[in-house]
Structure 1
Amino acid sequence: MLLDVDGTLIDSGYLHALAWQRAFAAHGLTPPWWRVHRAIGMGGDLLVREVCGSEVEDALGDRLRDEWAERYREVLPEVRAIPGASDLVRALTRSGYRVAIASSGAREFTDAALERLGLASTDVDVVTSADDADNSKPAPDLLTVALRRAGGSSAVLVGDSVWDVAAATAAGMSCVAVRTGGTAAAELLDAGAVRVVDDVAVLLDTRWRP
């Protein structure tokens, strides 16, 4: 079982959007909120181009990513775990699944998320972050790295965005999607999710297990 973090295990999607908006504003950029929110879930190396275009990426990409990291650190104390997230991780482990955290975020923020969840890296089999793959979601690289390190031959991803679904599809995996990232169920299903549930707490019901 591969588990996305932001918007899936922790309620951080809108705070990421806020941090990006503040980063853009610091450089005189005012992209619409909806466009920023829709890009949350893809890697930060792709988000600037997706939201503001190639010229902004070429001129300011790295500075915007640095600014975003500073702004996200400011709101990090406001991040909360999704109810049931820690229980799900422990239940999957007890049931014999190999569990891998597969986040496109920086390792600093992945570790902070585990702390919010009350989990240690030893509570799961593998923890991966943006530092572990050359190409971020929606590319499949991070998922294939997580699967390989977990020692598995197949996996199901639990994620919250169309970018998670796209990455899983490209990796030959199924994706169960949750709505806690703010994406509509219909859009997640259209992207290729095999099931959509409200949140990870629903997955504690063993009838939802793969």
Structure 2
Amino acid sequence: MIDTVILDVDGTLVDSNYHHTLAWSRAFGRHDLNPPLWRIHRAIGMGGDKLVAEVAGGDVETELGDALRDQWTEEFDQLIGEVRPFDGSRLLLETLKERDLRVVCASSGQPQHVETFLDLFDGRSVADAWTTADDAEESKPAADLLLAALGRVHGTSGVMVGDATWDARAARAAGMPSLGLRTGGFGDAELRDAGASDVLEGPRALVDAVKQGLLDRL
């Protein structure tokens, strides 16, 4: 029986993936690097410690990785005020809690960004716990963050809800099922191929599915 629901934040509860993509593009542009936006978007959801190499190669990571991450932060801080929660995010947390489930908002984002996002839907008043980049040695698609989230609430059986293939892959690495949402711009087939048991439109659609017993079937 599932006792813990681990919710990704960026792209799952708040509509931030394209803001991240633009911020990374601007950071790369400071160094006359111009990876196409689609390639950057494909890497959103994995940790920033891995994204530079994924998008631009190991040599760029070695030479510019730390500088790019600092510059991404500067660029994203200029965009974060435009980020909005998805319809149903708060209701999803409330619905899960009504079913006596432990709820963890599991983000690998910077602490100040995670707190800003949670405040968009007053998530801290409902969630049992949340994580940030400070809580895992290795970012997604490694299992570290999910295991830290499960441990934070002393859960024994969790399910991961995320918008990206990296979320599903991290769940698979952690030995737990996952559900995918279309809110991050990833396709149904690729989310399922990465390990998602089911794919739904967004938080509100997941609310309806939970009420219809979806979690009991995992």
TM superposition score category, shorter chain reference: over 0.9
Deviation at 1:118, TM superposition (A): 2.4
Tell me whether 1:70 sits opposite 2:74 in the alignment: yes
**Residue type of the alignment partner of 2:53:** R
Give the secondary structure class of the aligned counterpart of 1:81. coil
Give the Cα–Cα distance (whole angstroms) in 1 for the partners of residues 122 and 173 of structure 2. 31
Shift of 1:82: 0.5
TM-score (norm 2): 0.94
The answer as to 2:33 corresponding to 1:29 is: yes
Aligned to 2:166: 163
1:74-89 map, 5 Å: 74-89=78-93
Cα RMSD for the two superposed structures: 0.9
Does residue 38 (structure 1) correspond to residue 46 (structure 2)? The answer is no
Is the partner of 1:7 in helix, strand or coil? coil
Q: State the shift of 1:209 in Å.
A: 3.2
Q: Which runs of 5+ in 2 are unaligned?
A: none
Cα distance in 2 for partners of 1:192, 1:132 equals 24
Aligned partners of 1:10 and 1:134: how far apart in 2? 24
Q: Paired residue for 1:202?
A: 205
1:38-97: per-residue Cα shift (whole Å, max 9, x none)?
000000000000000011000110000000011111001110000000110111112100
Cα offset for 1:130?
A: 1.0
After superposition, residues 1-210 of structure 1 pair within 5 angstroms as: 1-120=5-124, 122-205=125-208, 206-207=211-212, 208-210=214-216
Partners of 1:57 and 1:117 lie apart in 2 by 35
Q: Between the two proteins, what is the percent identity of the paired residues?
A: 50
Q: Which runs of 5+ in 1 are unaligned?
A: none
TM-score (norm 1): 0.97
Q: Which amino acid aligns with 1:18?
A: L
1:190 CA drift (Å): 1.2
Q: For 2:123 and 2:185, how far apart are their aligned partners in 1?
A: 24
1:159-190 per-position Cα deviation (integer Å, ceiling 9, x unaligned): 00000000000000111000000000011111
Given that 1:203 and 1:209 are in contact with CA atoms closer than 8 Å, whether structure 2 keeps it comes out as no
| Runs of 4+ deviating beyond 4 Å | none
